[in-house]
Every structure is written in structure tokens, then in C-alpha cells.
């Protein structure tokens, strides 16, 4: 056999002896091995088994209700599917690539176990509406899990924000020290971002929550099915309205990946800040041992690997989104096998965001700010210059533009002397603006600057404390 340079062996291309037992009626021989290899999705779609069984149970109950199955047949199907569920759970299920996917693996096993009734289950249904249903159910479950994890991270951020609501740190624009803010305020900014992510996840969930089951292959069915019954049974709000759309639509997966991309981008930004804060140059925070690693060559190192990996995960999640968008582009109605490529990106992105949220929650929970260092830098770089300009407006009624100019000259003077604004004497101040008096010094401290920022959404510790408490109450409700 040929060997590729990388050591892999190419799959053999001879044919199987027998045709597929589920759809092989008109086929004389089985597929080429390479065909099975490219066709089979069981390697990754087995993860949908719970949703597949759930969908089949709902379908069977409906078939019984409309008279297409007897009560006895439905009972057999229920029992058979329960046993199959157990087999899968306990790792005893004989998954087969020849049976392509999770739907045919389960259906074939059902017939093996219960006979005739198992073969009736596929009445008025197709794998096309089956996969559309299973996949929606799976994404819906994942959305619920991710909302839960996001809420946990928000609560941890809010708890830290409450604890550090009055700890000053430099606020940056352009990564230049701009004005003092509090550490709590900075953490709560991420709570707001994550709250929008949750809101987007909920929106996506609402739009997703329609049942494709009963659309059959593409055109609906001639059987007198009750789609509202199966929709209700599966927790969907209603059946989908157009069978062609229902079997080919993957908007729900794309929307999910879009929302995850945005959330992963938020986590990436926070990760970047953690990486910066933990560097010796900033020295703003201490990360716990649990979320750092050592270097194999430099004994002094403590690397923020978890933050770096979360920072990077957005790359694969956005890649998953772009990958699926590209798969869907140009697909004609209705179902096409291309859509089988929808699953791996969604599974991959789900694993990535789940890990990221867990790691971020742990890092934030353990994070300890270096208050002295943050306080020191909060006052550096003339960070209270805006407070001085505001004082000139408020006390001397200078127009803001003029006050800005006066302050600029005072900053220039302090810079030349190598001192802070508060270190300029009153005489020096008066030489630039004669109206300045002693009370100006009250606004030049970091603490005064912070306390004054009481406008709605501002960084004043009193605001931050109230906001953190509000979030903790909301999240506990
Ligand atoms: N495994 C398929 C998928 O994931 C299920 C639907 C197959 N339908 C078909 N007509 N071959 O998309």
C-alpha cells in the first residue's frame, strides 16, 4: 500500500459487498470505501443521540395519535429507544460507519431490537427534517448552557467589582493614561458586554425555536400528521411554515456562531487586558497559580497561558462562523449534503466558548489587584488635567475651550519642572490664569477626581458600588 510522506495511508477504494440496508433497495453493490469515508458523519454526529431519540419519541407519539401506529407499536418503539439510549450512555452501542449517521444507526438498531414497529417509525419523516430538528434541539441546549456559564462569569465580575468599587486605576484611551477610573468600574464594563451577549443568545434562541419535524424530505407529506403536537412535545413554539426552507435552513447555526464570535471577542479583549496587567511593566494584578504556568527554561516566569488561550479562541470560533457561511453560500433549495458540514464548526465553537468561559471565570475569581501600583499610575501622566479644566469652567465660568487651553499651559509648565499639577504653586498657577485660588488643589487628587464622576454611568465609587449591587441582585434573581 502507498504511504504518504506524512505517514498516513490513503483509504482503499474497493467497494463493499452489500448495499446499504436502510436505503439500498435499488443499489446492486455497496459504496466505495472512500465514499463511505467522505459520506459518514457518525464520527461526529453521534453527539446528537439524545436529541435524535427525543425527536423519534415525539414523532412516534404523534404517529400513534393520528392512527399511523398502534399503541402497542408505540410502546415497543419507546422501550426500544430507551434501551438504545442506555446502550449509548454505557458505551455499548455498536456504532457503524456503514450506517452513515446517527439517524440510521439508531433506526437500524431499533428494528434489530423490536422488529416491524421499528421499521414503521420513519413514516412521514425524512432524515432531512430529522437532522434539522435534532440540530436545532442541540443548539438550543447549548445556548442554555452558555447563558448559564455567562451568568456565572458576570456574577464573579460583579462580586470583584463590588469588592474593588473604590480602588483607583488609570483609565486609558489609546493605551495612554487618560483619567482615573476604579477597578470595579473597569470590571463592570465587561459585565455590560456579557449581558448583551446573553441578550443576543436569547434572541437567537427565540428565532430558532420552531420545529422542522414533519417537513419530511422537502415537500411535506401526504399523511395526516400533527406538526403542532410534535412541536409542543419538543418544546418548540410552533412548526416551521415552509417545508423547503425548514430542511435547508441553517440560519440558527449561523446566528449561534455569530453570537459566539462576538462573545469570544469580548473574552479575548478581557484576556488581553489580563495579559497586560499581569506583565511586570504594568504589575496591576496577581494571577493565581491555578491559571498560570512556568517556563521550562526561565525559572522566574509565571505565564498567563489561560488568558492567552482564551484570547486566541476567538480565532477558531470566528473561523467556524466563516466556514459555515461559506458552506451555505450558493446552496440551492432544498436539502443538500453540503449541510452535513454544518456540525463540526458548531461543535468546535461550543467546546471553545465553554472552555473559555470556565477559564475566564476561574481567572477572575482568583484575580488580586495590586492596589498600590494601580493607585500610583492612576495619578501619573497628569490624569486629573480634565478635572482642572472642569474646575475653571465651574468656578471661574471660563468657556470650556479656554479652560482647556489654560490647563494645557499648566500641564506644559509642570512637565518642564518634572512635577505633578498639584505640585505647582498658587503663584505659578496664577501666572497663567489670575483667577485661580487655593480650592483648585481639592480637585487635583485622584480620589477627588473619582468621587466627582457621579454622572449616570460614571466611575464614582458610589456609582460603581450601586451598579455592582444591582447586577448581583439581578443575577441572583
Ligand atoms: N447526516 C445527514 C446530515 O447531517 C442527515 C441528512 C441526510 N439526508 C440525506 N438525504 N442524505 O445532513
CA distance readout (Å), 455 to 459, 460, 463:
8, 8, 8
Please identify, by atom number, the ligand 1 atom nearest to the C-alpha of residue 131: 5
Pocket of ligand 1 (CB under 6 A): 41, 45, 101, 127-128, 131, 335, 337, 339-340
All cell numbers assigned to 343: 456540525
* Gap from CA of 99 to ligand 1 centroid (Å): 11
Find residue 173's DSSP bridge partners.
176
Residue 462's SS3 state is helix
CB 324 within 8 A of CB 257: yes
Please identify, by atom number, the ligand 1 atom nearest to the C-alpha of residue 135: 4
Dihedral pair phi/psi, residue 230, rounded to 5°: -65, -35
* Gap from CA of 63 to ligand 1 centroid (Å): 22
* Gap from CA of 32 to ligand 1 centroid (Å): 18
Known catalytic membership, residue 174: yes
- The residue ranges of the chain whose pLDDT is under 70 are 1-17, 21
CB 429 within 8 A of CB 436: yes
Dihedral pair phi/psi, residue 368, rounded to 5°: -120, 120
Give nearest CA residue, ligand 1 atom 2.
Answer: 340
* Gap from CA of 125 to ligand 1 centroid (Å): 12
All cell numbers assigned to 286: 496577581
Give nearest CA residue, ligand 1 atom 1.
Answer: 101
Give nearest CA residue, ligand 1 atom 4.
Answer: 340
Task: Give Dmax (Cα) for the chain.
Answer: 102
* Gap from CA of 131 to ligand 1 centroid (Å): 7
* Gap from CA of 103 to ligand 1 centroid (Å): 9
Ligand 1 probe mutation, 125, 131, 219, 341, most atoms within 8 A of CB: 131
The number of angstroms, rounded, from the C-alpha of 375 to the middle of its chain's C-alpha atoms is: 33
Please identify, by atom number, the ligand 1 atom nearest to the C-alpha of residue 339: 12
* Rounded Cα distance, 204 and 192, in Å: 19
Please identify, by atom number, the ligand 1 atom nearest to the C-alpha of residue 102: 1
Give nearest CA residue, ligand 1 atom 11.
Answer: 337
From the list 13, 29, 279, 295, the catalytic residue is 295
Ligand 1 probe mutation, 23, 38, 127, most atoms within 8 A of CB: 127
From the list 14, 174, 425, 455, the catalytic residue is 174
Ligand 1 probe mutation, 22, 27, 102, 128, most atoms within 8 A of CB: 128
* Gap from CA of 247 to ligand 1 centroid (Å): 10
Residue 20's pLDDT is 76
Find residue 137's DSSP bridge partners.
none
* Gap from CA of 313 to ligand 1 centroid (Å): 29
Known catalytic membership, residue 288: no
CB 204 within 8 A of CB 147: no
Please identify, by atom number, the ligand 1 atom nearest to the C-alpha of residue 101: 1
CB 83 within 8 A of CB 93: no
Which one, of 113, 142, 109, lies nearest residue 42 by Cα? 109
Torsion of CA 253, 254, 259, 261, to 10 degrees: 110
Ligand 1 probe mutation, 49, 249, 340, most atoms within 8 A of CB: 340
pTM attached to this predicted model = 0.92
Amino acid at each position: 500500500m502507498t504511504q504518504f510522506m506524512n505517514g498516513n495511508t490513503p483509504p482503499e477504494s474497493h467497494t463493499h459487498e452489500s448495499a446499504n440496508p436502510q436505503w439500498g433497495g435499488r443499489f446492486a453493490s455497496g459504496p466505495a470505501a472512500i465514499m463511505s469515508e467522505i459520506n459518514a458523519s457518525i464520527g461526529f454526529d453521534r453527539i446528537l443521540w439524545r436529541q435524535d431519540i427525543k425527536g423519534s419519541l415525539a414523532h412516534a407519539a404523534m404517529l400513534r395519535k393520528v392512527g399511523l401506529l398502534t399503541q402497542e407499536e408505540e410502546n415497543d418503539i419507546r422501550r426500544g429507544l430507551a434501551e438504545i439510549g442506555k446502550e449509548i450512555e454505557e458505551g455499548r452501542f455498536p456504532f457503524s460507519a456503514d450506517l452513515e449517521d446517527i439517524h440510521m444507526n439508531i433506526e437500524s438498531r431499533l428494528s434489530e431490537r423490536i422488529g416491524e414497529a421499528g421499521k414503521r417509525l420513519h413514516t412521514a419523516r425524512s432524515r432531512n427534517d430529522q437532522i434539522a430538528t435534532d440540530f436545532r434541539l442541540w443548539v438550543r441546549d447549548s445556548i442554555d448552557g452558555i447563558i448559564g456559564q455567562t451568568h456565572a462569569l458576570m456574577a464573579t465580575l460583579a462580586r470583584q467589582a463590588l469588592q474593588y468599587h473604590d480602588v483607583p486605576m488609570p483609565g486609558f484611551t489609546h493605551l495612554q493614561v487618560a483619567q482615573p477610573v476604579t477597578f470595579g468600574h473597569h470590571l463592570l464594563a465587561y459585565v455590560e458586554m456579557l449581558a448583551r451577549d446573553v441578550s443576543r443568545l436569547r434572541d437567537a434562541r427565540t428565532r430558532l425555536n420552531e420545529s422542522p419535524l414533519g417537513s419530511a424530505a422537502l415537500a411535506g407529506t401526504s399523511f395526516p400528521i400533527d406538526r403542532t403536537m410534535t412541536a409542543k412535545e419538543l418544546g418548540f413554539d410552533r412548526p416551521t411554515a415552509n417545508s423547503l426552507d425548514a430542511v435547508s435552513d441553517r440560519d440558527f447555526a449561523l446566528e449561534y456562531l455569530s453570537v459566539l464570535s462576538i462573545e469570544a471577542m469580548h473574552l479575548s479583549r478581557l484576556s488581553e487586558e489580563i495579559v497586560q496587567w499581569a506583565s511586570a511593566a504594568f504589575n496591576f494584578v496577581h494571577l493565581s497559580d491555578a491559571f498560570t504556568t512556568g517556563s521550562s527554561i526561565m525559572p522566574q516566569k509565571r505565564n498567563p497561558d489561560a488568558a492567552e488561550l482564551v484570547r486566541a479562541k476567538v480565532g477558531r470560533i470566528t473561523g467556524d462562523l466563516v466556514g459555515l457561511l461559506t458552506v451555505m453560500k450558493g446552496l440551492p433549495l432544498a436539502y443538500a449534503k453540503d449541510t452535513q458540514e454544518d456540525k463540526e464548526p458548531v461543535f468546535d465553537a461550543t467546546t471553545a466558548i465553554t472552555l473559555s468561559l470556565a477559564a475566564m471565570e476561574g481567572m477572575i475569581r482568583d484575580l488580586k489587584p495590586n492596589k498600590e501600583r494601580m493607585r500610583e499610575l492612576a495619578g501619573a501622566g497628569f490624569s486629573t488635567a480634565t478635572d482642572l479644566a472642569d474646575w475653571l469652567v465651574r468656578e471661574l465660568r471660563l468657556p470650556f475651550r479656554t479652560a482647556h487651553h489654560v490647563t494645557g499651559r499648566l500641564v506644559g509648565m509642570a512637565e518642564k519642572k518634572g512635577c505633578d499639577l498639584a505640585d505647582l504653586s498658587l503663584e505659578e498657577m496664577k501666572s497663567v490664569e489670575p483667577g485661580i485660588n487655593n480650592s483648585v488643589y481639592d480637585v487635583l487628587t485622584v480620589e477627588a477626581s473619582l468621587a466627582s464622576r457621579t454622572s449616570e454611568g460614571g466611575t464614582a465609587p458610589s456609582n460603581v458600588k450601586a451598579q455592582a449591587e444591582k447586577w448581583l441582585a439581578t443575577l441572583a434573581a
